Amino acid sequence: DPLDVSCIDRPAACDRNFPYRSISGWCNDDETADRALGSTMHPIRRFMGAAKYDDGINTVRRRAARGGVLPSTRDVSNKIFTEASIPAFDARHNNFLQQFGQWIAHDIVFTPTAV
């Protein structure tokens, strides 16, 4: 029945002789046994372990791992990026760099979280 077919159905086997990669990323990684690695709607394994929040869910951390008080993220940002440190014009960095950063950020934000 065509209505039972899902857009996320995966092929039973990967055709390594196919000259193009799949648009979903399925079977694109030849180096691992996990055919879904890097594919759409596949969670990414956290590199540094589970995220830690003050309330265990979503509150910004205010204490360091050793118990000390963490600085405000706003204060850190203001110290790193002062108005004087940002040039008015830089020929090396144009709007493409901003768009590329936006694309990377959205790719990461819209990726399912690891469990």
Reading the chain (115 residues) residue by residue, the pLDDT tens digits are 444 444 555 556 777 788 887 777 777 776 666 777 777 777 777 777 777 788 878 888 888 888 899 998 889 888 888 777 666 777 777 888 889 989 888 887 777 665 5
- What are the CA-CA distances from residue 17 to residues 14, 30, 62, 65, 72 (Å)? 9, 12, 52, 49, 53
Q: What is the DSSP letter of 40?
A: T
Cα separation of 95 and 97, whole Å? 5
- Predicted confidence at residue 2, as pLDDT, reads 46
Q: How many separate domains does the chain show?
A: 1
- Predicted confidence at residue 4, as pLDDT, reads 45
Cα separation of 81 and 29, whole Å? 38
- Predicted confidence at residue 87, as pLDDT, reads 66
Tell whether 12 is covered by a domain: yes
- Predicted confidence at residue 1, as pLDDT, reads 40
- Predicted confidence at residue 60, as pLDDT, reads 83
Tell whether 48 is covered by a domain: yes
Cα separation of 30 and 102, whole Å? 28
> Is this model's pTM higher than 0.95 or not?
no
Domain extent, residue 63, equals: 1-86
Tell whether 91 is covered by a domain: no
Tell whether 36 is covered by a domain: yes
